[in-house]
Chain A
Amino acid sequence: MQSNIKKHLNVPKIIAFVILSIASLLVLIPLFWALVNSFRSADDIYYHPYSFFPTSFNNWTISNYISIFTSDKYPVGRWIINSLIVSLSSSVLYLIIACLAAYAFVFLKLRFANGLFLFLIGTMTVPGIVLTVPQFSQIYQMGLNKTLLGLILPGLGGVYGLFLIRQFFLSIPYDLIESARADGAKDLTIFTHIVVPLGKSIIMVQGLFGFLGAWNDLVWAQIIIGQTTPDNWTLSYGLSKVIEGTQTYSNLGLQLACTIVAMVPIAIMYIFVQKRIVEGVSMTGIKR
Chain B
Amino acid sequence: MSAEKKVNFKKARELYKASGAKIVEDSIDSFVSIRDVDKIYPNGVQAVFHFNLDIKEKEFIVFVGPSGCGKSTTLRMIAGLEEITNGKLYIDKVLANTKSPDQRDIAMVFQSYALYPHMNVYDNMSFGLKINKAMLPLLDKEGKPVSDENGKPLLVKRHYTKDEINDLVFGAARILNLGDYLDRKPKELSGGQMQRVALGRAIVRRPKLFLMDEPLSNLDAKLRISMRSEILKIHHRVGATTIYVTHDQTEAMTMADRIVVMNMGHISQVDTPRNIYENPSNLFGAIFIGSPSINLMNVTYADSTITFGNGSALKLQDGTNAKIKAFFDSKLLFYKQTLQRFELRHHEILPVLKSLLRTKNEAKIQELLGLHYLCEREQEIKDLLAKVLSEQKYKNDVRKIMALIEEKDHVLSSIVDELDANKPNTEAHKPVVLNKKNKGVRTPHEEKEILEKLISYFEKGYEHTNLILGVRPEFFALGDANSPVKGKVFLQEYLGTEKYVYFSFLEKEYVVRVSSKEDFKRGGDINLTFDLHDVHLFDPVTGLSIA
Contacts and interface: CB of A to CB of B under 8 A. Distances in A.
Interface of A: 173, 175-176, 178-186, 189, 193-194, 197-198, 281-288
Q: Which 6 A-B pairs have the closest CB atoms?
A: A284-B187, A285-B186, A285-B117, A179-B114, A285-B115, A182-B108
Contacts of A198: 117-118
Interface of B: 79-81, 100-102, 106-108, 110, 112-118, 124, 127-128, 131-132, 185-187, 191, 194, 201, 205, 211, 218
20 contacts: A175-B110, A175-B112, A178-B114, A182-B80, A182-B211, A183-B128, A183-B131, A183-B205, A184-B102, A193-B131, A281-B118, A282-B185, A284-B186, A284-B187, A285-B113, A285-B115, A285-B124, A285-B187, A286-B113, A286-B115
B201 A183 contact: yes
Nearest to A196: B118
A182 B112 contact: no
Contacts of B118: 197-198, 281
Contacts of A288: 112
A215 B124 CA distance: 39
Best-surrounded residue of A173, A181, A197, A288 (most CB of chain B within 10 A): A181
Given A175-B112, A178-B110, A183-B205, A287 B101 contact: no
A176 B132 contact: no
A81 B108 CA distance: 51
Contacts of B107: 182-183
Contact of B101 (A176, A181, A285, A286): A181
Contacts of A286: 112-115, 117
A208 B299 CA distance: 76
A130 to B, nearest CB: 38
A116 B113 CA distance: 33
Contact of A173 (B81, B112, B132): B112
Contacts of B186: 284-285
B117 A284 contact: yes
Contacts of B218: 287
A198 B118 CA distance: 7
Nearest to B105: A184
A287 B79 CA distance: 21
B81 A285 contact: no
A179 B80 CA distance: 11
A232 B8 CA distance: 61
B185 to A, nearest CB: 8
Given A175-B112, A286-B112, 7 more contacts: A173-B114, A179-B114, A182-B79, A183-B102, A185-B102, A193-B131, A197-B118
Contacts of A193: 127, 131
A184 B194 contact: no
Contacts of B131: 183-185, 189, 193
B100 to A, nearest CB: 8
Contacts of B106: 182
Contacts of A184: 101-102, 128, 131-132, 205
Contact of B81 (A182, A186, A284, A287): A182
A194 B106 CA distance: 20
Contacts of B194: 285, 287
A179 B191 CA distance: 18
A252 to B, nearest CB: 50
Contact of B116 (A186, A189, A285): A285
Given A179-B108, A182-B107, A193-B131, A285 B102 contact: no
A244 to B, nearest CB: 49
A186 B132 CA distance: 10
Contacts of A287: 112-113, 191, 194, 218
A89 to B, nearest CB: 27
Nearest to A186: B102
B497 to A, nearest CB: 36
A288 to B, nearest CB: 7
Contacts of B81: 178, 181-182
A211 B113 CA distance: 38
A282 B187 contact: yes
Contacts of A189: 131
A182 B115 CA distance: 12
A183 B115 contact: no
Contacts of B80: 181-182
A111 to B, nearest CB: 9
Nearest to A181: B101
A154 B74 CA distance: 47
B279 to A, nearest CB: 36
A197 B185 CA distance: 14
Nearest to B187: A284
A194 B117 CA distance: 9
A71 to B, nearest CB: 49
A178 B213 CA distance: 12
A176 B127 contact: no
Given A282-B187, A285-B194, A179 B117 contact: no
Nearest to B188: A284
A194 B79 CA distance: 20
Contact of A285 (B114, B127, B128): B114
B196 to A, nearest CB: 13
Contacts of A173: 112, 114
Contacts of A181: 80-81, 100-102
Best-surrounded residue of A182, A189, A282, A287 (most CB of chain B within 10 A): A182
Contacts of A180: 116, 127
B127 A183 contact: yes
A66 B491 CA distance: 94
Contact of A283 (B100, B117, B127): B117
B227 to A, nearest CB: 14
A285 B193 CA distance: 11
A180 B205 CA distance: 13
Nearest to B118: A197
A25 to B, nearest CB: 39
